[in-house]
A and B are shown apart, each in its own frame.
Chain A
């Protein structure tokens, strides 16, 4: 059963992404600080993956044949929870509890939330390995589901990621698709100034992956790359999706802050910009 039969139009996807951005601003704004920049930056990517690419059934979050999506950058939690709510995988009213004491919606996404969290990955570098195991098992049992992993360009500094990259290529895990959110942002600032990871495309190519470099805000480019990944049968695929932190709110765009102080008045200004664009 393919739940993806009703692919959304570009306009619908854009509306979903806009809604998710508003939710991110609302959720982080309530908190006064948080991962608003990465959330706004990744909203288009998350929208495409959850609404157009992955085979999911909101009525059955633990459907055995669902595609698995691993959020290795587990701190990008505002956009993650917002996307799940918008996709119907969690109730929308749960977003209100984000980061509150006792809530299952933690600032580092944890599987306390439920089966829609495929692994608890707050400790960076681990998601790709677990996804490799799931992909390996799927192949061993002849299951059609695919495994997707989202990680960040800063996270590529974790050595375990490259252990997993070696493994996935060596074992020909073509049912594995990695999406690197290349936002050039880590705690210390620009990834290029901390430990330069470029050329990322050449690194993955040398490791034996099918590499697609694209604009992470371009739904056409995302569709083309994801479709190419599905057609690749001998190796894992990686999408190097360049994104702009703060995307959609001009005064936030390009502001390099891993954990942005985001008081109510700033959040209100951001929300006004997003509302005006509706």
Chain B
């Protein structure tokens, strides 16, 4: 007999049992499903962890379970897209990239099939350890021709990211995370326009480019720098990692002269690299520091612990900012 009080748990949200955190992604996908009959969902045995259980329960005929076989799942999705469906594919970021990269390259990116790759557990956000921590997925996806890479910043921007991905005709990699807490009442949702950097806080002394999880870390760092040092530090949400908003980045870099990047990802090939490429090619000589996973593998742990240990939590960002400004003599 099944004990109805037991339910399926997972390690993807750090929300305490019983805490009501909305399924922002799952709800957005269901809303899309109501509007567009071509939307279908596939999952590599990870429905609750990727929130597509809501879609499963709402549209059982449009929900497909290829099982624990990601390579095949990508091919199946590509075949469905070639037949006019709009598949949203669900697994963890590591398996979408490391596990099924050739399939993504050849069956999604190259032919521009209209497949939306919804990856969860970005970077160091899980207890599940190194096998489940995607620290190079942005670098890999960014290197693929035809691929659009979007990482919304938390619950307030997930719905806009899903909408933008659906409105875009072609392959999109969504780098997603289940928020550990509900968006506080009164905080408005953030829009998302593909390819447009988003200035969340202006400032003349320095700029922090962030994406996903590190946006809140960057905002906290900027607030502490203002409170403790009277510094005006800008924070930019680079929700679209490809195509990258080079003009926006160049303008902010020129204006402030001091640039920090903070990413929940390896410093090789991700946001920091994209900013560095932009600055070099624009001929901008700024004081510059990349914060992120410094070319090493991590281990399982809580998100705050790992962000601090690997050097891209708010205090690390603030320290890096002060260090760069001190070197500039300010």
Chain A residues with a Cβ under 8 A of chain B: 111, 118-123, 125-126, 128-138, 140-141, 143, 159-160, 163-164, 166-167, 170-171
Contact = CB atoms under 8 A, between A and B. Distances in A.
Given A140-B40, A141-B84, A160-B72, 5 more contacts: A137-B80, A160-B69, A160-B71, A167-B76, A171-B64
B79 A166 contact: no
A164 B110 contact: no
A120 B106 contact: yes
A83 B73 CA distance: 31
A136 B82 contact: no
Contacts of B80: 133-134, 136-137
Interface in B11-67: 40, 61-62, 64, 66-67
B69 A120 contact: no
Interface of A is mostly: helix
A126 B70 CA distance: 12
A141 B107 CA distance: 22
B85 interface: yes
Given A120-B110, A167-B69, A167-B72, A130 B84 contact: no
B84 to A, nearest CB: 7
B83 A130 contact: no
Contacts of B73: 129
A155 B75 CA distance: 16
B103 A133 contact: no
B78 interface: yes
Given A136-B64, A137-B84, A137-B85, A119 B78 contact: yes
Given A134-B79, A138-B83, A129 B67 contact: no
B69 A126 contact: no
Contacts of A123: 102, 106
B253 to A, nearest CB: 39
A129 B102 contact: no
B76 A126 contact: no
Given A137-B80, A160-B103, A119 B111 contact: yes
B107 A119 contact: yes
A132 B103 contact: no
Interface in B87-139: 87, 102-103, 106-107, 110-111
A98 B85 CA distance: 34
Given A120-B111, A126-B107, A136 B79 contact: yes
Contacts of B64: 136, 171
B67 A167 contact: yes
A119 B79 CA distance: 9
A162 to B, nearest CB: 9
B165 interface: no
A167 B79 CA distance: 14
Pairs A-B, 5 closest by C-beta atoms: A133-B79, A129-B75, A137-B83, A163-B72, A163-B69
B222 interface: no
B162 interface: no
A141 B80 CA distance: 11
Contact of A130 (B66, B78, B85): B78
Contacts of A163: 66, 69, 71-72
B161 interface: no
B207 interface: no
B314 interface: no
B75 A133 contact: yes
A125 to B, nearest CB: 8
Contacts of A170: 67
A37 B226 CA distance: 73
Contacts of A160: 69, 71-72, 75, 103
Contacts of B149: none
21 contacts: A111-B111, A123-B106, A126-B103, A129-B79, A129-B103, A129-B107, A130-B76, A131-B79, A132-B76, A134-B83, A137-B79, A141-B83, A160-B71, A160-B72, A163-B71, A164-B72, A164-B76, A166-B67, A167-B66, A167-B72, A170-B67
A118 B75 CA distance: 12
Given A126-B106, A160-B103, A166 B82 contact: no
Given A126-B106, A163-B69, A166-B69, A132 B75 contact: yes
A117 to B, nearest CB: 10
Nearest to B42: A133
B58 to A, nearest CB: 16
Contacts of B81: 133
Nearest to A133: B79
Contacts of A166: 67, 69, 72
Nearest to B77: A133
B241 interface: no
